[in-house]
Amino acid sequence: MDEPHAPSPAGTGHILQNRQRLSRSLLWQLQRRYFAQAGLDAWRSGTVPHYVTSNPFIARAYAQLVLGWLRDVAPLLNRHAPLYIVELGAGPGRLAYHFLQQFFGLLAHSSFSDVPVCYVMTDYSQRTVAGWQSQPQFQPWIAAGRLDFALFDGERNDSLTLLHGGVTLAPGTLANPLALLANYFFDGLTHDAFFIEDGQLFESLVTLTTPRPGADPTDPALLPDIACIYTQEPASSDYYDDPAFNQILAGYQQELLLTHLLFPIGGLHCLRNLSRLSGGRLLLLAGDKGYHHAEELLLREEPGYDVHGSFSLTVNFHALGEYVRQLGGLFLSTPQRPVQLDVCAFVLDPAGQAYPETRLAYQQAIVQGGPDDFFVLKQGLEKHYAALELTQLLAYLRLSGWDHKIFLGCFPALLEKLDQADEPLRLALHEMVQQVWQGYLGLGEVSDVPFCLGLVLSGLGYHAEAAAFLQRSLLQHGPDAATFYNLALCYQALGQDAEAVAMVTQALARQPDLAPAGALHAQLVARRSPG
């Protein structure tokens, strides 16, 4: 996680904006402009982090949670009408891809297999949505009516129109309750800042400065250089136009003796809009860097923000939970404090049911070894892959849901140990390759997954399949000497010497000093020579 961009202690720099509510500051305009310009490149380049919220493990946990919730709302379901699962701010699209695979696989074996389910990916950036629509691996899901897209701004909209289906989801139109996923979403919505001392509430007005004179105030590239200077002004008890929001703020004023407080006003507006859209019947799963225990809000310093192309703040999930409780809903959070990722669940239902199946699913999928625990474990294990046996590496990959990132980390150790595999283990490793590839959604990153999978298959003796993966590598990542050389080895093993010569010639054309390729070329030419 990036280090927080701390507020400036002094008033140096050129003023971009003076003494403004944090939620009305220039920061949010720069944020929106960044994503409007970058589209999927924001994640493709690795600038905006997304792995912890976009891997197969968290997708499986969410799929189990949604199914648990479905068991609770089963009496309310209209099985002839669509059930919508909407992802807010779907980012690079990897959570959607993993969730589609995990959820529909589980749904087919459940009592809800006859329910028509449609997953909807949303964002306010048209460029990002267009990028998802053009993704080849999404096309079968679109054709089956199980995936659609919509432009949606959670802070401003309470309706959305599906770009393929043409249906508008609006208040009063949904026949079924609504499920929503929101990973790394609330941290990018507007926040306000307050200071509380001895029962007194102050609004923290922010002044934005930059060391760059004459800087363009609409340029998102300014974000890393902007300093935030806070000044405190007494605030009234009716700060917001919604009494529910003021009630939450008043509770903090009474309970927190001394602290700086981030208040997720954009998140609260979004929850209010979602409640209207769903008719007060929804499940929301949210994963973010955040706090959900009231005591975590004590003695906090002036808020900074993380810069990663855009910027993000730490989410006050406790305030969002208080709002849902005011509406008669259910707020689920972990007893432990998360290390990297806080996953919370919010349930709204006018009937005020107990939702035992949702609670049970949350306990099993999130509390008892959830996405945060798995990510922390991954960070520790990745330093020791070389010490693991093949069976242990395989078990870890299976536990991860065949995560391509974990595969890439394990790849050197896997390749080194392939000659230790007996026949049953060779078959299991062959299956691993198929599973990793099936779950991989490429974004055009530098990491060459098909190349690595091809080398594993080649090492296992599956040369024809290895050649197919290496050809995919050439298509996706372009000509490369190592790829051509390994293709030549595959063709040589298959007895296709003419193809092998063609490939090794390509390798040497790109890297003449590649000694193994030169030796292979000489061997192949000698073998084909009549003398």
263-304 pLDDT, tens digit per residue, is 999 999 999 999 999 999 999 999 999 999 999 999 999 988
Q: Provide the pLDDT for residue 530.
A: 59
Beta-sheet strand order (sheet of 310-312) = 4-5, 305-308, 310-312
Give the pairing of strands 310-312 and 305-308: antiparallel
The region, left, alpha or beta by phi > 0 then psi within -120 to 50, assigned to residue 525 is alpha
Among residues 368, 356, 419, 364, the alpha carbon closest in space to that of 390 is found at 419
Among residues 264, 276, 324, the alpha carbon closest in space to that of 170 is found at 276
Q: How far apart are CA 11 and CA 346, in angstroms?
A: 41
| Other CB atoms within 10 Å distance of the CB of residue 278 | 24
Q: In which residue ranges of the chain is pLDDT below 70?
A: 1-12, 528-531
Q: How far apart are CA 345 and CA 333, in angstroms?
A: 7
Residue type, 158: D
Q: Provide the pLDDT for residue 2.
A: 39
Cα angle 85, 88, 89; round to 5: 140
Q: Between the CA of residue 318 and those of 150, 252, 324, 334, 344, what are the distances in Å?
A: 29, 11, 10, 12, 10
Contact 346, 278 (CB under 8 A): no
Q: Provide the pLDDT for residue 3.
A: 38
Q: In Å, how far from its chain's centre is CA 321?
A: 22
Q: How far apart are CA 501 and CA 303, in angstroms?
A: 62
Contact 95, 181 (CB under 8 A): yes
Among residues 285, 263, 284, the alpha carbon closest in space to that of 273 is found at 284
Q: How far apart are CA 137 and CA 123, in angstroms?
A: 19
Q: How far apart are CA 17 and CA 20, in angstroms?
A: 7
| Other CB atoms within 10 Å distance of the CB of residue 269 | 20
3-state DSSP: the chain helix, strand, coil percent, rounded to 5? 50, 20, 35
| Other CB atoms within 10 Å distance of the CB of residue 97 | 24
Q: How far apart are CA 438 and CA 435, in angstroms?
A: 5
| Other CB atoms within 10 Å distance of the CB of residue 418 | 18
Q: Provide the pLDDT for residue 186.
A: 96
Task: Walk me through the domains of the chain, giving residue ranges and CATH numbers.
Answer: 4-22+191-265 (no CATH), 38-188+270-375 (3.40.50.150), 384-528 (1.25.40.10)
Per-residue pLDDT tens over the stretch 317-348? 999 999 999 999 999 999 999 999 999 999 99
Q: Which helix H or strand E contains 42, and what residues bound it?
A: helix 41-44
Listing DSSP states for 344-385 in one string gives EEEEE-TT----HHHHHHHIIIIITT-HHHHHHHHHHHTT-G
Bridge partners (DSSP) of residue 147 are 119
Q: In Å, how far from its chain's centre is CA 384?
A: 25
Q: Provide the pLDDT for residue 337.
A: 93
Q: How far apart are CA 389 and CA 420, in angstroms?
A: 9
Q: Provide the pLDDT for residue 8.
A: 45
Q: In Å, how far from its chain's centre is CA 144?
A: 24
pTM of the model: 0.94
Among residues 438, 451, 452, 432, the alpha carbon closest in space to that of 391 is found at 432
Q: Between the CA of residue 372 and those of 101, 377, 396, what are the distances in Å?
A: 21, 9, 16
Q: How far apart are CA 239 and CA 320, in angstroms?
A: 17
Quote the DSSP letter at residue 294: G
Q: Helix (H, G, I), strand (E, B), or coil: what is residue 173?
A: coil
